[in-house]
A and B are shown apart, each in its own frame.
Chain A
Amino acid sequence: MSHALRAFSVRLAMTRRTAVLVWAAGMLACLPLVAWAAPFVPANDAEVVETLPARLDPAARAARDAWRRQPEALPLALQAARTAISRARRDGDPRELGQAQAALAPWWALPSPPPAVRLLRATVRQSQHDFESALADLDALLADAGVPAAVLAQAGLTRASVLRVQGRYGEAAAACADLATPRLAVLGPVLRWSAQVCEADVMTLGPAAPAGHARLAELARQAQSERALVPLRGWIALVQAEAADRRGDPAARGHFLAALQDDADVYTLAAYADWLLQHERAAEVEPLLAGRAEADALLLRQAIAWRRLGDGRATAAAARLQARFDAAHQRGDRLHEREEAMFAWQVRGDAAAALPLARANWDKQREPADARLLWHTALAAGDRDAAELVRRFQQQTGLRDVRLADPTQPTRVARRP
């Protein structure tokens, strides 16, 4: 464990009691958010009662209305579903996934829907963490000779991503390599380069990490001049940022900024905010997330930053997050375990509550971020077995990360008093 991390753990332990008190006080203060509060009538018609940063634009509304008039028309349904999915990605609003599913309703339950529908169904299902169903659809597409090349390429890339998220790095690498098949050559150089980025990214997660870093650097250099690589710049920058972060290279910061310049989506913002928090730069989180902190994942990073800085706004943010987790539980969702574990550990200072959540998350998702979360909550909670899960995973995959232990060394876990 690095010095910075050890110092952080000590500070976390010392402030744990205060955090619990602050959290409890916040819960009380924000009780009306959780319970059935008394309804109210706004003072006048001019009062703004809700802001809608992600409202449908007229074109999207027109497309949706066109689909509603002819819900059985496949092209209209596909268009409605695709635009809903891209809005879901941009704004991080899961109800857009529901809209996509609604648009595909006539084909949704078919065992073997049209290829374009099947691809979108897999996309929606993996977003809802139903990885096995998503993989089944993707495998079926890849095995079907009649599938159009563009659908096939997307299915291959999505499959590689799902396998990577599940920690199946060997299979992910094979899925990336499969994209180089002659059948997809018609799609031109963008796909060829995408396959390379995909492969290099997976390489950085295993024993071939040094070669992967070199390939990424080479791809980034080529992206300066190669026209077909230009659309991939943001993706390359993000992959480089995460790889640099794993080996403790301060260049990660520059790569994150480049990725954000290309596309400041929720995932990239959250990843960079985590990097700032891990490098004692909590004060930079607020300007980074300004205007975006309504998304749960970003509000969580903001709450952690405020708590580290002793900012009083941490209490209200924590109460708001807790209320959202409660609401998700009420509807029976278990999609937020990663965020909930981070919340329990870093906002409430309760490692014992965080560990079961981190473990449940680990059963579904095994990205390096999930490994870090499980490793550190296991250490903080003094659970050797849980820490061992990460070490064994590292031994199997060859994953190295400066914020994880060296897996060749035995796991040392201090028992908590």
Chain B
Amino acid sequence: MISTTFSTILRAPLRRLARCAAGLFCAGSAWLAGPALAHKPSDAYLQIDIDGPRVTQRLDIALRDLERELALDADGNGSLTWGEVRSQWPRIQALADDGVRLQPDAAGACRAAAPAMPQLDEHSDGRYAVLVREWQCATPGAGWQLDYRLFAGTDPTHRGVLQWRDGRAQGAAAVPVVLVPGAAPYRLGSHASAAAGTSLLAFVVEGVHHILIGTDHILFLLALLLPAVLVRGASAARPTASGRRAWVGATWQPGGSAALRLALPAPVLQRWAASLAAAATAPWQPAPALAPALWQVARVVTAFTVAHSITLALAMLGVLNPPSRWIESLIAASVVLAALNNLVPLIDAGRWRFTFAFGLVHGFGFAAVMNDLGLSGRGLAGPLFTFNLGVELGQLAIVAVFVPLVWALRRHRFYVAGVLRGGSALIALLALAWLVERAFDLKLLPGG
């Protein structure tokens, strides 16, 4: 058999023989490199959504694969029409039902609804048949078994790409699971689900990672913490009555701005202006005691944490969804303001309030990251909590390194001039560049 095939080399037509004769006699790297680089292999996409008693499964199978398996192209002209696909839909459905079996732990508890209407969808390598099934389960079990056998007998290189979500128990596979046809059943469910466990841990890591690589969040925190180990000089800490009157008199003459006076009661404005005036003239001094400095740090960090947790949750639950360009611009603006405040005092005593206000903005920024991880909507409490936990851990790590350092440095003369003023000026400049980039969609800085 083999040698006769080989001998046909001499007699057969000449085309296609040299590099590969009848699939037997092939030579040259042309033959080697060909197949692997030309096409995407066969994949099917499986999406399973467990929402209380209702379970939905969507399976996308390439028409190309279905044609190979079921010979859908009835007239054999190389063009598959919708009519040809639709008329064979029961066979397609049978193939899908046979290839993908989702079984609840509680046997017999589920009632299948009729399969959904035939539909198609577009993937990167062509059109796919979309098969949607739905079950109503009276007593949903703790978990599910998924037996994936699609094309097990005809293409061992086929893969199923699974994304699943369990809304009731907040279990989810954060990254798609690759299913090998004919391998051991995959378990999905809330309890004892290794996938859910690892993915939750992965969110902690994501949170830590995000805060540690998020230069804007770090600089915002650092700008706020730089002055925490200092106090304003004693001579100006309590402004004199005459000083206050002089300053207020210069700016806020009655009748100067009716709108402002209406919006903010005069005493508040006056107190704010006075504290600013005092701060502007008072020199920085090293904080004499650790406890008040740590109290400052704690207030700032807590305000930031509470604020960004609120907006992160709001954004992930779909309550608020502001445009990311505004958010990114506002985050940059918050860094500019926090740094400028160390040069030209704008807010002094109430730094935690400022932190809280802008912390709200940073929370939306974290939400964008979680969206990028492919998560939103229901079943999020677990990932949301653990991601935030990661952010807080990363933040604590930064504080734990930074605060002792500046505490030790605070008495050096260069701390105020070099670290506080110089550092703040640098941060403000960098953040200003981000602000311009993000607000006007420009590119000023290298990298990124």
Q: Using a CB–CB distance below 8 Å, which chain A residues touch chain B? A: 17, 32-34, 36-42, 44-53, 55-56, 58, 61, 75, 78, 82-83, 85-86, 88-99, 101-102, 105, 116, 123, 126-129, 148-151, 153-154, 157-158, 160-162, 164-165, 187-188, 190, 194, 197-198, 201, 228, 230-236, 238-239, 262-263, 265-268, 270, 294-298, 320, 323-324, 326-328, 330-333, 335-336, 338-339, 365, 367, 417
Contacts and interface: CB of A to CB of B under 8 A. Distances in A.
Contact of A89 (B10, B26, B153, B159): B26
B263 interface: no
A93 B83 CA distance: 26
B118 interface: yes
A81 to B, nearest CB: 8
B176 A94 contact: no
A53 B67 CA distance: 12
Given A45-B81, A98-B157, A239-B28, A297 B22 contact: no
A199 B2 CA distance: 25
Given A267-B30, A327-B124, A417-B446, A92 B3 contact: no
B14 A231 contact: yes
B6 A187 contact: yes
Contacts of A198: 27
Given A150-B24, A324-B40, A95 B155 contact: yes
A94 B127 contact: no
A320 B126 CA distance: 10
B14 A102 contact: no
Contacts of B79: 48, 50-52
Contacts of B17: 231
Contact of A129 (B36, B68, B76, B80): B36
Nearest to A417: B446
B37 A95 contact: no
A98 B42 contact: yes
Nearest to A261: B15
A233 B27 CA distance: 12
Nearest to A47: B82
Given A95-B157, A323-B124, A55 B73 contact: yes
Among A37, A231, A238: residue with most chain B CB under 10 A? A231
21 contacts: A39-B120, A48-B80, A50-B127, A52-B73, A86-B20, A89-B34, A94-B40, A98-B154, A126-B32, A149-B6, A150-B5, A154-B24, A158-B27, A161-B28, A201-B28, A266-B34, A267-B30, A270-B37, A326-B124, A338-B37, A339-B37
Contacts of A149: 3, 6
A40 B34 contact: no
A82 B1 CA distance: 13
Contacts of A367: 29, 33
Contacts of A39: 119-121, 130, 132
Contacts of A162: 32
Contacts of B81: 45-49
Contacts of A42: 82, 120
Contact of A94 (B23, B35, B130): B35
B105 interface: no
Given A85-B23, A161-B32, A327-B43, A40 B18 contact: no
Nearest to B28: A235
B318 interface: no
Interface in B197-242: none
Contact of B121 (A37, A99, A197): A37
A61 B76 CA distance: 12
A5 to B, nearest CB: 24
Given A48-B79, A50-B127, 13 more contacts: A52-B67, A86-B23, A99-B68, A153-B25, A165-B33, A187-B6, A198-B27, A201-B28, A235-B19, A262-B18, A320-B124, A327-B124, A331-B161
B41 interface: yes
Contacts of B121: 36-40
B448 to A, nearest CB: 11
A270 B34 CA distance: 10
A297 B176 CA distance: 26
Nearest to A322: B124
Query: What are the 5 A-B residue pairs with the smallest beta carbon separation, nearest first?
Result: A92-B38, A45-B83, A98-B155, A323-B124, A98-B157
Contacts of A41: 117-120
Contacts of B35: 88-89, 92-94, 96-97, 127
B80 A49 contact: yes
Contacts of A93: 35, 38-39
Given A37-B122, A150-B6, A332-B178, A265 B30 contact: yes
B150 interface: no
A44 B38 CA distance: 32
Nearest to A147: B2
B67 A262 contact: no
A323 B380 CA distance: 27
B29 A263 contact: no
Among A98, A239, A320: residue with most chain B CB under 10 A? A98
A14 B132 CA distance: 49
B42 A165 contact: no
A51 B78 contact: yes
A41 B130 CA distance: 10
A216 to B, nearest CB: 13
B157 A34 contact: no
A324 B45 CA distance: 14
Contacts of A40: 119-121
B254 to A, nearest CB: 54
A50 B38 CA distance: 19
A34 B64 CA distance: 18
B36 A128 contact: yes
A266 B38 contact: yes
Contacts of B282: none
Given A89-B34, A126-B32, A49 B85 contact: yes
B156 A105 contact: yes
B23 A83 contact: yes
Interface string B28-67: 1111111111111111010100000000000000011101
B47 A267 contact: no
B125 interface: yes
A332 B78 contact: no
A331 B122 contact: no
Contacts of A160: 27
Nearest to B45: A36
Contacts of B446: 417
B65 A194 contact: no
A127 B36 contact: yes
